[in-house]
């Protein structure tokens, strides 16, 4: 079973809408402008942005994840099927590390750069793989909701990370896995500048808190065209 197909029915329970994240994205987007959400999942953020008056569009690889279908395209982030002119492009939820390798990740950033207006911004959120590759944790924190439990395990194979997810809902237990390309903060910065971005700012989250290479669990990068 495809990893995100497994998660589809419980996705919004496991990864609930964050007003803080939505506010962070809209604060970067001038004048009710155009937002592209790459890896838009159920579409809860697209729906929110449209409700607030923004022109929002989404790209999602797994059709069964899509609940809000307006302005959403099924496709691969390696081939972004959109016209240029976005104020903000968003790739959250550790989506970029699902690239097949560093060359593919670089190509994705170059594609995002192409779609942005002059002075547009890209927001990339991944985990801090500098810390993860150094400490090599076997497990990420388990996510528990009233509806389900999502257990997350990592295995390390050379330069790749195997992410093994186990979803427990009632009497059902499903397991799936995906290979990740663990992009470090240094590698992301290099890819960003090589793709043409002229400024890269790192944060530890959506509140604008400082990113700590040694201790931050996640990385939110704002790339300025």
Whether residue 145 sits in one domain with residue 53: no
Assign residue 154 the CATH number of its domain. 2.20.25
Give me 63's structure tokens: 């059709």
Question: What's the average model confidence in pLDDT over 75-100?
Answer: 96
Angstrom distance (rounded) from CA 140 to CA 53: 37
Q: Residue 170: which domain range?
A: 131-180
Binned at pLDDT 50, 70 and 90, residue 165 comes out as very high
Question: How many folded domains does the chain comprise?
Answer: 2
Whether residue 208 sits in one domain with residue 110: yes
Task: Report the chain's mean pLDDT, rounded to a whole number.
Answer: 94
Whether residue 138 sits in one domain with residue 112: no
Whether residue 93 sits in one domain with residue 47: yes
Whether residue 80 sits in one domain with residue 94: yes
Say yes or no to pLDDT of 172 above 90: no
Say yes or no to pLDDT of 1 above 70: no
CB 151 within 8 A of CB 132: no
User: What is the value of pTM for the model shown?
Assistant: 0.94
Over pLDDT 70: what percentage of the chain?
99
Contacts of range 171-180, beta carbons closer than 8 Å, 24 or more positions apart:
174/1, 174/6, 176/1, 176/2, 176/3, 176/6, 177/3, 178/3, 178/98, 180/94, 180/97, 180/98
Assign residue 29 the CATH number of its domain. 3.40.50.150
pLDDT at 2: 61
Whether residue 123 sits in one domain with residue 150: no
Binned at pLDDT 50, 70 and 90, residue 169 comes out as confident
Whether residue 199 sits in one domain with residue 188: yes
Whether residue 165 sits in one domain with residue 122: no
Whether residue 110 sits in one domain with residue 24: yes
């Amino acid at each position: 079973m495809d990893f995100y197909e497994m998660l589809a029915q419980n996705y919004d329970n496991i990864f609930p809408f964050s007003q803080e994240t939505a506010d962070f994205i809209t604060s970067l987007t001038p004048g009710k402008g155009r937002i592209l959400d790459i890896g838009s999942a159920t579409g809860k953020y697209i729906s929110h942005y449209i409700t607030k008056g923004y022109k929002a569009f989404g790209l999602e690889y797994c059709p069964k994840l899509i609940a809000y279908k307006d302005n959403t395209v099924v496709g691969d982030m390696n081939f972004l099927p959109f016209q240029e002119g976005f104020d903000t492009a968003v790739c959250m939820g550790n989506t970029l590390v699902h690239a097949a390798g560093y060359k593919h990740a670089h190509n994705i950033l170059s594609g995002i750069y192409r779609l942005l207006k002059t002075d547009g911004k890209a927001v990339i959120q991944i985990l801090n793989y500098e810390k993860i590759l150094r400490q090599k944790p076997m497990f990420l924190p388990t996510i528990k909701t009233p509806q389900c439990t999502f257990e997350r395990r990592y295995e390390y194979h050379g330069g790749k990370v195997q992410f093994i997810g186990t979803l427990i809902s009632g009497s059902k237990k499903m397991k799936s896995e995906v290979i990740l390309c663990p992009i470090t903060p240094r590698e992301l910065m290099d890819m960003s500048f090589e793709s043409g971005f002229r400024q890269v700012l790192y944060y530890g989250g959506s509140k604008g808190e400082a990113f700590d290479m040694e201790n931050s669990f996640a990385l939110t990068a704002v790339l300025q065209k």
